[in-house]
Structure 1
Amino acid sequence: MTEKTTRRSTVGLLSVAALLGVLAGAAGVYVMESRSGNGAATQTADAGQCAASKDRIARLTPLMKGQAAAMAPVDPPRRLDQLTFKDGSGAERRIADFAGRSVLLNLWATWCVPCREEMPALDALEKAEGNDRFEVVAVNIDTGGDEKPRAFLSETGVSALKPYRDSSMGIFNALKREGLAFGLPVTLLIDDQGCLLSAMNGPASWDSADGRALVTAVRDGGPASP
């Protein structure tokens, strides 16, 4: 990747999120080949359990604008609580483990330039808005060992994001089968019941006023009721 290309990508990340909403992830790095995965499950579709999320999605949709314009509401909302990955100790985690907390799930890799540029914004979002009701769950999908992604996070000063990993790319493959992941980065907004509310492919300035307004609305539960 040349310096000129990297500079152009950075400008796009900061200033044309509305265009990304139209292009649906054209600025992302597309994954041409993926491995078989590690058994990560796809979503458990349950219209009954996610029925309340339909109203929340309707109320959140007007907030998907500006720097968050690439986010698209899903219809119908569905459970993603069986998606799996590993935490920093190597223990298996599932989205179900975050019950009671809204999650901004982001898949990234060190070789993905838009992902790398997006990480400081995700880290700033977690520092500003993360608590026992919301977490940015950034899952690295580099194949191989943990050394490279850990070094990248350290070198770029990312300190609030936990080092979640899936070197098998199983979580990406599961989302790809559901038509949610076409490349990297991919970001999903999941409510405190494990129900998917919205998704996007491509980067965003998540620490912007638009990004923070969207995630805090989900975290605080305000848009879910009249």
Structure 2
Amino acid sequence: MTKLLVALVYTGLALLANPVAGFAADFASLAALREGDMKKLVLHESPKEVATETLVDMSDQPRRLSDHAGKWLVVNFWATWCAPCRKEMPTLSALQTAMEAAPVEVITVATGPNPVPAIRKFIDEIGAENLPLYRDPKQKLAREMAVLGLPVTVILDPQGREVARLIGDADWDSDSAVAILEAMSATK
């Protein structure tokens, strides 16, 4: 209940904030919302430009993160062989559902040699069919974004710039994660 109250108060304040100040002015407020696994979330004081490498979807069609411009993106780098990814993926799926009304989207990027049948089996086993599935088979985007281990999750602002990063698995449908993303998406 306290977390919900904090999130509601913060969201209200964010809506009244000076939009020119944007994310940087909200840095301290966002940091205060980090609890549990979200304490590992590193918030950048200023947004960082992101690589523009092309990904592919499950049908080998080219995709880019910029295809989702205008939304806050939670981009999760994972692999079928990654045990922490298996634990984390259902929470990302639940986050996607929880954020349906907000301009937030969860994007998954299977990086490295992850065959399509193995990805489909992984997703079927954990029941995360609501997530967009992209692949980075040659790890070009992962390398450009300095993803050195798995899982890694980055949060991109609507302009496609990285504003936060979490290394390792986390409970992405926790009250803290939802409050942080609701607060971020309330800013311009």
TM-score category by the smaller chain? 0.7 to 0.9
| Paired residues of 1:182 and 1:201 also in contact (CA < 8 A) | no
Unpaired stretches in structure 2, ≥5 consecutive residues: 1-19
Unpaired stretches in structure 1, ≥5 consecutive residues: 1-49
Identity of aligned residues (%): 33
* TM-score (normalizing by structure 2): 0.81
| Paired residues of 1:81 and 1:195 also in contact (CA < 8 A) | no
In 1, Cα distance between equivalents of 2:51 and 2:27: 18
- The equivalent of 1:190 in structure 2 is 156
Closer, same or farther: CA 147–52 of 1 in aligned 2, 3 Å: same
- How do 1:118-197 and structure 2 match up within 5 A? 118-131=88-101, 133-176=103-146, 181-197=147-163
| Paired residues of 1:106 and 1:138 also in contact (CA < 8 A) | yes
> What amino acid sits opposite 2:49 in the alignment?
R
Local SS of the residue matching 1:69: helix
- CA drift of 1:219 comes to 2.2
Answering whether residue 152 of structure 2 is matched by residue 210 of structure 1, we say: no
- The equivalent of 1:105 in structure 2 is 75
Closer, same or farther: CA 70–83 of 1 in aligned 2, 3 Å: farther
In 1, Cα distance between equivalents of 2:51 and 2:182: 21
| Paired residues of 2:23 and 2:184 also in contact (CA < 8 A) | no
> What amino acid sits opposite 1:114 in the alignment?
P
- The equivalent of 2:5 in structure 1 is none
- CA drift of 1:152 comes to 0.7
- CA drift of 1:81 comes to 6.0
**Which structure shows the higher strand fraction?**
2
> What amino acid sits opposite 1:215 in the alignment?
L
In 2, Cα distance between equivalents of 1:184 and 1:75: 24
* TM-score (normalizing by structure 1): 0.68
- The equivalent of 2:8 in structure 1 is none
TM-superposition CA deviations, 1:167-194 (whole Å, max 9, x none): 1111211112xxxx23110011111111
> What amino acid sits opposite 1:219 in the alignment?
S
- The equivalent of 1:220 in structure 2 is 186
In 2, Cα distance between equivalents of 1:214 and 1:186: 17
Bigger CA drift: 100-109 or 59-68? 59-68
In 1, Cα distance between equivalents of 2:36 and 2:103: 25
In 1, Cα distance between equivalents of 2:129 and 2:170: 19
Q: How many residues align?
A: 169
Closer, same or farther: CA 201–82 of 1 in aligned 2, 3 Å: same
CA RMSD of the aligned region, Å?
A: 2.1
Bigger CA drift: 58-67 or 113-122? 58-67
